[in-house]
Structure 1
Amino acid sequence: MNLAELSQLDGPSSELLYNFGLQPVSNRFLSGNCQNSAPTFSLELRINRDSGLIHLGKAFPVDELKPRYSWLTCFEPEDHLDAMVKTIINLPGVDKDSVFGAYSFKDDSTLQRLDYLGYTKQWRIDPEQDLGISDPCANVETYQAVFTPTVAQQICQNHGAADVIIVRHVVEHANNLSGFLESIRALIKPNGYIVWELPDCERALEVGDCTTVWEEHVFYFTTFTFKLLLESAGFSIVHYESVPYPLENSIVAIVQEGKGQNNPNFSDSRIVQEEIDRAYRFVDTIKFRRHAIRNKLENFRENVGRIALFGAGHLSVAFLSTLGLCDLIDFVVDDNPNKKGTRMPVGNLAIKGSEALYSEKVRLCLLGINPRNQSKVIAKHSLFEEQGGQFASIFPGSEVYLEHIS
């Protein structure tokens, strides 16, 4: 199996894991008085049986994924960046004359750390100058639609080929995975390095966390499948780790061009089968939770009271939409002033400030924000619990996971 076969969405080795039906574009917030609805597209989760790589059956249209609001932000995990930068600057051949390139705004904080340490020869792809994109709402999907090996070669002419190119949390978004890898490798010098960072979905799949499924992520890599991809693409792996985080771990892989003919090992059928088995356990867990969580929330509404969901982000959208729970939620809570007063892309649910937890007499508040921030919300709203309310997390593995509430 070569790179093209491994990354093909509709290849002969691809089989259906689960059809989630029509799912909304989760960044499409609606105005409070809007009668329109967010666009929806078919979302199928599939798996390549030869590699165990999970992927969408078909990517959502790039133009639809582009945010409509410039205030929408993206937060990637950064606690490991100091250690990652230390690893980068200690790579053989890297010194303060090295040129550091970066793919997107997601890499700015890494470049800042390098600059602080005296590694000042830097550039980052400029969407307008290098890609001809002037839309302030453009995102990484928009970039990829025009980012080709030919464009990459022109970027090198404009900025100079990089000794190190940094690509954080982008490869999982790739519509054309093999083309994207070829374009990125065109940005580096012959002995240069590519620093990849991406979500490690292994734990989310293992525990059956439905929020890992997101229309912006075309591929769902694990430590095994991403390494297999890199080997298939002819890269030599210099550094490889999975950094632990409460929600999703982060894979950090540093690679160079491989030396000579590359022969990735697809012969370990045991590991591939473990990937496949985990994927099907994930699907079975999702099916079970669709019923178990609905029954629990229905019982709570009937016997205790109203339910709100804290956090108007894509994690909450995935929870509501993939499990079909919108009808059991009274409203969504978010203190972002840009989101308050709008409606969710799913279920037309109103988004209100946290004061509504008290004024609307909510008895259960589900937590759809990143688990690392949930304790802060609970502490800030201790009065809610003192008045008889309950908090429960939508994320399996949490100490306050909703399936554990009475």
Structure 2
Amino acid sequence: MQGRTVTLLGSTGSIGTQGLQVIDHLNALAGAESGSDGAPVRVQALAAGGRSVAALAEQAARLRPQLVATSGGEDAARTLREALGALAPGYAPQIEWGQDAATRASEAGADVVLNGITGSIGLRPTLAALTAGSQVALANKESLIAGGELVKAAVDASPLEQPMVPVDSEHSALAQALSAGSDREIDRLILTASGGPFRGMSYEQLREVTPAQALAHPTWDMGLVVTTNSASMVNKALEVLEAHHLFGIDLDRIDVTVHRQSIVHSMVQFVDGSTIAQASPPTMLLPIALGLTWPHRIPGVAQPCDWTQASQWTFEPLDKTAFPAVEIIKEAGKRGGTFPAVFNAANEEAVAAFHAGKIRFTDMIETAGRLLDEHAQSAWCAESGSLTLEAVLGAESWARTRAHEILTD
């Protein structure tokens, strides 16, 4: 890790702030080993949303990256510059602002780009980082959902041996377990799901779920969109498609099991009947650390399981009737092209409408399913093998507009 540079996208969010914790831990370890204050990991660029200027300024003043980016407008850039002047006199980084600010940060040439942006707006930065020759530590699953074919092509064109490392806990677990066998020895991938707050409820009961209930996740502390997607199992559906793109396994060979304890993060079943699982207490610090240092493991980055204490792990089949998102996205993934992007965009619009009190909980997945049916006749429909970034963005725009029309009827 000596002299490695890192760019953090979404630096003030959950993944970004934990990424900085990992970097601090790495640098503390290096200092203790060498007896010096020399930092083996240097933050080259930070990027965050326009509503996080104060937190971004504090991070930049401490870390002194060469580039600081805000997705806000010119006023946000001015506020950022003034805050940095007050916090760190004499420090004058390159400041980027606007919709493409994170993309420009991705192009800065860091050794690793940790993409912790939420939503499909993370696709452009992912492609930019890969094109610039950086390794991508990917926590932005929507990059692969919306533009999986494009990202795969960029990965294939990269000169790096490992251009992309997954940071989602489930996909990090799969990457670790996959090292137990060769590609031809893989039978199935099994993603674990906590089941969210509504395990055991019927589809009819889910109609009455409130936004507050949907945000009461039993295990993870996440943002509004991801927590809601976890409650509806849309998040797990997105992860199924993400695993398909990351590891090249057919969608019909990717399963979901409900594991309430969130200790086993995913498993790989091999052709000889063996199943290899990755287990650890729930924390994102471990997969983030692996994302930044793959394939090396960092001492003390997270607490292990305590095997001196009695515990029980349970596994249950997913109720596909109450939670149809996984089957719906598998069909979208098989159709390929712009269909997954439409699913994701429609769901994001539906989540916003649900929290605004305009629709029921179950209306979210019904809206996404309806738009997939309509998209086949849309002018923005692109088939697998002919996908372009323009097609993805056009299909997303169509899906958001159409979803807004449906959800405001």
User: TM-score of the superposition, structure 1-length normalised?
Assistant: 0.28
User: TM-score of the superposition, structure 2-length normalised?
Assistant: 0.28
The structure with the larger Rg is 1
Instruction: Give the number of the structure whose residues are more often helix, by fraction.
Output: 2
Choose between structure 1 and 2 for higher RCO, CA contacts under 8 A separated by at least 6 residues.
1
